[in-house]
Amino acid sequence: MINDLRNIVKKFIGIDIGGTGIKGVIINGLGNVLAEGSVPTDADKGEEAMMSNIVDLINSMLSSVDIVKREISGIGIGCPGLIDSKNGMVVFAGNLNLKYYPLATEVSERVGLPVKITNDANAAALGEAKFGAGKKFEDSVLVTLGTGVGGGIVIGGKLFEGGNSAGTEIGHMVIAEDGEKCTCGRRGCYERYASARALIAQTREAMSEHKESKMWETYTLETVSGKTPFDYMDTDETAKNVVNKYIKHLACGIINIVNIFRPQVVMLGGGVSEQGERLTIPVQEYLDNEIFAGMTYAPVKVVKATLGNKAGVFGAAALLM
Amino acid sequence: MINDLRNIVKKFIGIDIGGTGIKGVIINGLGNVLAEGSVPTDADKGEEAMMSNIVDLINSMLSSVDIVKREISGIGIGCPGLIDSKNGMVVFAGNLNLKYYPLATEVSERVGLPVKITNDANAAALGEAKFGAGKKFEDSVLVTLGTGVGGGIVIGGKLFEGGNSAGTEIGHMVIAEDGEKCTCGRRGCYERYASARALIAQTREAMSEHKESKMWETYTLETVSGKTPFDYMDTDETAKNVVNKYIKHLACGIINIVNIFRPQVVMLGGGVSEQGERLTIPVQEYLDNEIFAGMTYAPVKVVKATLGNKAGVFGAAALLM
In tens, the pLDDT along B131-161 reads 999 999 999 999 999 999 999 999 999 999 9
Q: Which of A164, A177, A262 sits opposite B163 (nearest CB)?
A: A262
In tens, the pLDDT along A113-140 reads 999 999 999 999 999 999 999 999 999 9
Structure confidence at residue B3 (pLDDT):
61
In tens, the pLDDT along B205-238 reads 999 999 999 999 999 999 999 999 999 999 999 9
CA distance A64 to A26: 11
Cβ–Cβ of A174/B255 closer than 8 Å? yes
β-bridge mates for residue B99, sequence order: B92
In chain B, whose CA is at the least distance from the CA of A89? B297
Cβ–Cβ of A262/B167 closer than 8 Å? yes
Q: Which of A155, A166, A289 sits opposite B298 (nearest CB)?
A: A166
The answer to whether A268 and A304 have CB atoms below 8 angstroms apart is yes
Structure confidence at residue B7 (pLDDT):
77
CA distance B263 to A98: 25
State yes or no: pLDDT of B2 exceeds 80. Answer: no
B136 touches A at CB < 8 Å: no
A264 touches B at CB < 8 Å: yes
In chain B, whose CA is at the least distance from the CA of A249? B177
Alpha helix stretches (DSSP H) within A99-227: 103-111, 120-131, 191-194, 196-209, 214-218
CA distance B215 to B205: 12
A160-179 residues touching B, CB cutoff 8 A: 160, 162-164, 166-170, 172-177
A177-196 residues touching B, CB cutoff 8 A: 177, 184-186
Instruction: Indicate yes or no: pTM above 0.90.
Output: yes
ipTM metric: 0.95
Structure confidence at residue A5 (pLDDT):
75
| Strand, helix or coil for residue B125 | helix
Contacts of B111 (CB under 8 A, 6+ apart): B55, B58, B69, B75
Q: Which of B186, B192, B202, B248 to mutate to test the interface with A (most CBs of A within 10 A)?
A: B186
A10-69 residues touching B, CB cutoff 8 A: none
β-bridge mates for residue B72, sequence order: B11
CA distance A154 to A161: 9
B100 touches A at CB < 8 Å: no
Rounded to an integer, the average pLDDT of B97-119 is 97
State yes or no: pLDDT of B6 exceeds 80. Answer: no
Rounded to an integer, the average pLDDT of A21-25 is 98
Q: Which of B139, B167, B176 sits opposite A260 (nearest CB)?
A: B167
State yes or no: pLDDT of A1 exceeds 60. Answer: no
Percentage, residues of chain B above pLDDT 70:
99
Alpha carbon A100 to chain centroid, angstroms: 23
Rounded to an integer, the average pLDDT of B243-247 is 98
| Residue A232 C-alpha, separation from nearest chain B C-alpha, in angstroms | 26
Alpha helix stretches (DSSP H) within chain A: 2-9, 47-64, 103-111, 120-131, 191-194, 196-209, 214-218, 228-232, 237-261, 277-290, 311-318
What rounded mean pLDDT belongs to chain A? 96
Strand A158-160, strand A149-155: pairing:
antiparallel
Cβ–Cβ of B177/A173 closer than 8 Å? no
